[in-house]
């Protein structure tokens, strides 16, 4: 066949573009297929109200590992990093800068876990020191696979995450610190990172095809042969790298009979549940709160409270819109004034503990309005008068995120971040992750081991594995 690629990549997000750049630079013929009209995935910025733009799914992502930043040569392609901005917790009468207590520790753990995930065949089973550590006198919560966020927090300094849906007292929740987003380091916001990645991929010679939705992954005898696009026509490839999540990759792109039943069962048991809604607000005037001027430019956590989180988590599990919602605000136009017309401002709200599936039916307009009203009421308490300046709103519930981003159940984490779904257990299909039980199919994206550990990291690890197999001759 003349038109056969070495690697076909599904999804032109951070992972897809990273993998494309690395593979193309290594001399492989690479095509990236993107369902949407423009590449970028979570890194895109779009107009949600005339003249106002925002990144719909996230304003901040976990950091790009330093060595990868250099390896992709992102600085030359226009990405520029500034020190991360501080986050604050805000109440009607006071605010507190969230201390950066665990950043260094999280960074060290991420680096160790990524090094582990990059091994050609990680020594199985991974111990993570679970059994090796001697129990101290009262069993201190020293390991993040066992510690809860409440264990790590001190009474006066809560550990705050973006839009969480979790019980901060449950063991293992400390692992969420690994995927904590880093605020504000990219010039031009996340779009700046996206543009640099795209430039890097294009320069390396990767072909990027937008408006091409993949309908099926064709396989023969347990080996990937081609991608079938929704418009019709097959794209033959020696290997396929999927940056979609686990369930979407396997349960919607394969006929079920093409996979071993044990694999299908295992994938079915992988827990994915959306919990974040996004509210994009266009403000006619910049908020004039003297408080805001004094605040750092990072995330603003609205009236955080561990007890309320427990209740919100219980409501979320039951499919109820909680009365008290965990809210994280950002004002991207403070960092990038070009996102709003002169004098205006953009505020984005990440709302946590929002169920994907409500217990009493679908997301009707009434329920969307209820969610919006509850969020705006809480914001009004800390920024009085801000509601009156809102001229445009867009609400993205988890089903909207699922539909627009293609994330199963609207889960932005690509699967619950829990001890049994992290590290070598993520996704746990194959000991030689990112390889999968289907030969020639590689899983990058949020459900892979490296997914929550850094932006672009999963793409790089999958690309390296694919390259090693292409060169080693394991792929025909």
Partner 1 sequence: MSETRYDAIVIGAGVGGLAAAALLAKAGRHTLLVERQPALFGTLAPATLSALDPRLAKMLKLAKHGFGYAARDLPLAAPNLLLSRDRHATARSLASLMPTDAAAYTVWRREMLSLAKALRPAWWDGKAVAEVSLKPAQRVLLDRLTVSSAIAHLCARFESDALRAALAFAAAECGAVPSEPGSALALLWSAAQEANGAQGAVSLPKGGVLALLRALSDAAQAAGAEVRTATPVARLLTSGGAVTGVELAAGESIETPLVFCALGRRHTLATLLPPAELGLGTARTLARPVEEIGNAVLVFALSAAPNLPAPPDARFLIAERPEIYESAFAEARAGRNAREPVLELVREEPTRLVVRVWPVAPSYARSDLVRTVTLMIERHASGFANLVVSADLLEPETTAPVPLERLLASAQSRIETPLRGLYMVGADAEPANALSGRAARLAVALSQKARPR
Chain residues that interact with partner 1, rule: CB under 8 A: 124-127, 130-132, 134-140, 145-146, 167, 169-172, 265-266, 269, 271, 307, 310-311, 313-314, 317-318, 418-420, 422, 425
Q: Return the number of the residue (161 or 405) whose C-beta is nearest partner 1.
A: 161
Q: Return the number of the residue (227 or 449) whose C-beta is nearest partner 1.
A: 449
Q: Return the number of the residue (95 or 270) whose C-beta is nearest partner 1.
A: 270
Q: Any idea what DSSP says for residue 423?
A: G
Tell me the C-alpha to C-alpha distance, in Å, between residue 328 and each of 162, 185, 325, 348.
6, 18, 10, 8
For residue 46, the cross-strand partners are 54
Q: Return the number of the residue (400 or 411) whose C-beta is nearest partner 1.
A: 411
Residues near 367 by Cβ (< 8 Å), separated by ≥ 6? 321, 358
Q: Return the number of the residue (130 or 293) whose C-beta is nearest partner 1.
A: 130
Q: Return the number of the residue (140 or 338) whose C-beta is nearest partner 1.
A: 140
CA neighbours closer than 13 Å in the CB half-sphere of residue 412: 34
CB of 418 to partner 1, least distance (A): 6
| Backbone torsion region of residue 350, taken as left when φ is above 0, otherwise alpha when ψ lies between -120 and 50, otherwise beta | beta
CA distance 81 to 66: 11
CB of 172 to partner 1, least distance (A): 4
CB of 421 to partner 1, least distance (A): 9
Tell me the C-alpha to C-alpha distance, in Å, between residue 62 and each of 59, 115, 183, 256, 460.
11, 17, 9, 34, 15
CB of 210 to partner 1, least distance (A): 37
Burial class (CB in 10 A: 0-12, 13-18, 19+), 118: middle
Spatial CA neighbour of 428 closest among 156, 124, 209, 137: 124
CB of 159 to partner 1, least distance (A): 15
Longest dimension (CA), the chain: 69
Q: Return the number of the residue (310 or 393) whose C-beta is nearest partner 1.
A: 310
CB of 158 to partner 1, least distance (A): 15
CB of 94 to partner 1, least distance (A): 24
CB of 251 to partner 1, least distance (A): 15
Tell me the C-alpha to C-alpha distance, in Å, between residue 114 and each of 46, 254, 267, 330, 466.
32, 29, 23, 29, 17
CA distance 17 to 203: 11
CA distance 351 to 371: 9
241 phi/psi in degrees, rounded to 5 = -120, 115
CB of 364 to partner 1, least distance (A): 24
Buried b (16+ CB within 10 A) or exposed e, 32-57: bbbbbeebbbbbbbeebbeebbbbbb
């Amino acid at each position: 066949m003349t038109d056969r690629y070495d690697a076909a990549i599904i999804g032109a997000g951070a992972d897809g573009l990273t993998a494309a750049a690395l593979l193309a630079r290594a001399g492989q013929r690479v095509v990236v297929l993107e369902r949407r009209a423009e590449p970028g995935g979570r890194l895109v910025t779009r107009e949600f109200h005339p003249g106002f733009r925002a990144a719909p799914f996230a304003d901040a992502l976990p950091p790009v590992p330093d060595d990868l930043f250099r390896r992709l040569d992102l600085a030359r392609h226009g990405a520029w990093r500034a020190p991360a901005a501080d986050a604050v917790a805000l109440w009607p009468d006071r605010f507190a800068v969230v201390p950066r207590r665990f950043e260094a520790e999280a960074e060290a753990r991420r680096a160790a876990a990524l090094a582990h995930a990059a091994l050609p065949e990680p020594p199985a089973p991974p111990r993570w020191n679970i059994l090796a550590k001697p129990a101290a006198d009262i069993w201190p919560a020293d390991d993040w696979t066992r510690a809860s966020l409440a264990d790590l927090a001190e009474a006066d300094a809560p550990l705050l995450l973006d839009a969480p849906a979790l019980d901060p007292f449950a063991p293992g929740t400390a692992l969420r610190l690994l995927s904590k987003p880093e605020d504000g380091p990219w010039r031009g916001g996340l779009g700046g990172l996206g543009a640099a990645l795209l430039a890097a991929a294009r320069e390396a010679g990767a072909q990027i095809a937008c408006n091409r939705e993949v309908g099926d992954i064709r396989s023969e005898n347990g080996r990937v042969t081609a991608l079938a696009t929704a418009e019709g026509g097959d794209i033959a490839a020696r290997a396929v790298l999927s940056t979609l999540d686990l369930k979407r990759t396997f349960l919607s792109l394969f006929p079920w009979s093409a996979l071993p039943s044990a694999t299908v069962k295992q994938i079915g048991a992988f827990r994915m549940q959306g919990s974040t809604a996004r509210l994009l607000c266009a403000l006619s005037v910049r908020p004039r709160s003297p408080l805001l001027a004094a605040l750092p430019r990072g995330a603003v956590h609205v009236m955080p409270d561990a007890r309320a989180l427990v209740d919100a988590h219980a409501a979320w599990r039951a499919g109820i819109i909680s009365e008290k919602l965990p809210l994280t605000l950002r004002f991207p136009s403070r960092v990038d004034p070009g996102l709003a017309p002169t004098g205006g401002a953009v505020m984005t709200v990440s709302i946590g503990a929002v169920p994907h599936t409500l217990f009493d039916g679908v997301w009707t307009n009434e329920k969307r309005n209820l969610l919006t009203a509850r969020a705006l009421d809480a914001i009004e308490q800390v920024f009085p008068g801000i509601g009156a300046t809102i001229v445009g709103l867009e609400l993205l519930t988890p089903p909207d995120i699922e539909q627009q981003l293609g994330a199963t159940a609207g889960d932005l984490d690509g699967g619950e971040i829990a001890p049994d779904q992290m590290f070598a257990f993520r996704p746990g299909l194959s000991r030689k992750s990112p390889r999968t039980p289907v030969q020639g199919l590689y899983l990058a994206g949020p459900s892979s081991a490296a997914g929550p550990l850094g932006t672009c990291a999963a793409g790089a690890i999958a690309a390296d594995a694919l390259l090693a197999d292409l060169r080693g001759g394991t792929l025909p």
